[in-house]
Amino acid sequence: MKLVTRFLACLMLALWPELVLAQDGTLPFVIAFGSCNDQNREQPLWEPLAHMAPDVFVFLGDNVYADTDNEGQMRATYDLQNQIAGFGNFRKSVQIEGIWDDHDFGVNDGGAAFTGKDMAQRAMLDFLGEPDESSRRESPGIFASRSYELAGFNRSYVVQLLLLDTRYFKSAWNRSGSFTRRYDPDDNPELTLLGETQWQWLEGELRKEADVRIVASGLQVLNGYHGYEHWALFPHERERLFALIRTTRANGVILLSGDRHFAEISRRDDILAYPLHDFTSSGMTHSFEQGDQSVNPDRIAVYTGLNFGSLVINEGQVILRVHDQRGRAVETVKISLKNLQWKGR
């Protein structure tokens, strides 16, 4: 009977690709995500997200705009977000995960020097409903991993969600004197983005078996062509990430990022043995309507209106979609799981 149910489910997904089935431990498995969500603005995306009914929703940073080192003000900001009816209803039925960026961290473009970071960590974990016994409550930084084992037709699939912290340990950026760039790259090996503890944790996670690995970063990894924050400002840290994926021969890596106030999907074929995608989804309440003017030769999809992203993991493939504020798919990229593997593994 369950095989028949799965067959009908996959048939319906093929006929109506925007249909998402409720979570029951089987494929398809749907992860939705977004960033740049201002608690003081209209939030039209929760209704289409609720209709989608993803298995997991991932906040990719700037989940609220707090910009404070005062705990009372920080918590009041999260309280405002929780009072938004659409979000409150959504979180009752969907697993919420998240990382932060600078405005929910507490200071614009901030990092390790921010004195309010431990307070901000407590407030954010409370907002996410992180269990009291969670390791995120006990350790500096909000990095964490989640794993989902899902039944397919002939075998099970493991989906790994890796939540990176690109704020708590981050060294100061190298401020540019140019009018066209806020920061310049700095290859000083003493500078860090993740911090050594998080790097060691990430290596251990990448060595685990998984078919698909969703690596969530508040900052863009592949697009290093603009003058704002991104991984390429610390070239040695970005190369360390690429080298770590190569060394561990981790299959199925897909990057998620936020921050930029528009959506884009970048792809590079020269880093790993398989194509590496960076799916940026931003913003949920305010976007860069004029479009991104920076050159990105790795860009394969772009959308400048309010948006959220989704990742549908199905038998043999992953489908990346950018959704507009009505929930319609405005950009779609399909990836075969066979093309996300190291040969010989």
Q: What are the domain boundaries of the chain?
A: 26-340
pLDDT of residue 265: 98
**Residues β-bridged to residue 68:** none
Asked if residues 280 and 257 have their Cβ atoms less than 8 Å apart, the reply is yes
**Which CATH number applies to 26-340?**
3.60.21.70
pLDDT of residue 180: 85
Angle at 330 between CA 65 and CA 328, to 5 degrees: 80
- What angle, 0 to 180 degrees and rounded to 10, lies between the N-to-C axes of helices 71-82 and 117-128? 20
Amino acid at 32: A
Amino acid at 184: D
Low-confidence stretches of the chain (pLDDT beneath 50): 1-6, 8-9, 11-23
pLDDT of residue 289: 74
> Which contiguous run of DSSP H or E holds residue 237?
helix 235-248
CA-CA distance, 81 to 260, in Å (whole number)? 21
Give the dihedral of Cα atoms 234, 238, 239, 243; nearest 10 deg: 150
pLDDT of residue 1: 41
Q: Name the region of 2 (left: φ>0; alpha: ψ -120 to 50; beta: rest).
A: alpha
pLDDT of residue 2: 38
Give the dihedral of Cα atoms 53, 320, 65, 135; nearest 10 deg: 80
For residue 216, CA distances in Å to 36, 165, 196 come to 14, 9, 18
CA-CA distance, 127 to 327, in Å (whole number)? 25
The two beta strands, 156-163 and 299-303, are: unpaired
pLDDT of residue 292: 60
Largest CA distance in the chain: 66
